[in-house]
């Protein structure tokens, strides 16, 4: 039997995951596990105070044609690598979240109408240095947005919130 103990050490903005693995054999497995966990707790005290790092995540609810989708977008450093997602073959949606695991610099949301030839840009929204919230309604960042395509009066609604996701 192997027991693995993981803990996160955060020093000067750089989190380190520290893993210890201990083989346990024979009788007294429960006692050995207790010793390992006690040792891990002692190591936490000796290493110093630790913070739990919550990562920002953009969560969007998109409604179109009677279908609701929940999409999540993590921060990236390169905006040109983000692809627009197809929404029921009628719209496209792209969320560019620029930042890192601790901070979001800005968010840009793009909505397109899908035509036979190519996507047509309908709407762009930019949010500078938004704050991630622990608990928020699904449209806390953007409000509930209504978009209409030029063909056949199609409608798409979306709302996004920047939330903190803990480990």
Asked if residue 149 has pLDDT above 70, the reply is yes
Residue 47's pLDDT is 47
Q: What does the pLDDT look like over 58-85, one tens digit per residue? A: 999 999 999 999 999 999 999 999 999 9
Rounded percentage of the chain residues whose pLDDT exceeds 90: 57
Half-sphere exposure of 109 (CA within 13 A, CB side): 24
Tokens for 15, please give them.
């989190």
User: From the centroid of its chain, how far is CA 36?
Assistant: 33
Q: What does the pLDDT look like over 37-56, one tens digit per residue? A: 555 554 444 444 545 567 99
- pTM for the predicted model, two decimal places: 0.68
Residue 159's pLDDT is 97
């Amino acid at each position: 039997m192997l027991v693995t103990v993981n803990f996160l050490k955060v020093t000067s903005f750089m989190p380190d995951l520290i893993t210890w693995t201990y083989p346990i054999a024979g009788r007294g497995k429960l006692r050995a596990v207790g010793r390992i966990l006690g040792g891990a707790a002692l190591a936490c005290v000796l290493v110093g105070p630790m913070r739990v790092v919550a990562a920002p995540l953009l969560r969007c609810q998109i409604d179109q044609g009677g279908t609701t989708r929940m999409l999540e977008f993590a921060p990236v450093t390169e905006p040109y690598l983000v692809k627009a997602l197809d929404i029921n073959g009628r719209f496209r949606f792209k969320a560019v979240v620029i930042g890192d695991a601790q901070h979001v610099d800005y968010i840009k949301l793009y909505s397109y109408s899908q035509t036979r030839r190519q996507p047509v840009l309908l709407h762009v929204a930019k949010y500078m240095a938004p704050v991630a919230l622990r608990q928020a309604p699904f449209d806390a960042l953007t409000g509930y947005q209504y978009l209409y395509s030029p063909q056949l009066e199609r409608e798409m609604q979306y709302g996004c919130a920047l939330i903190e996701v803990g480990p």
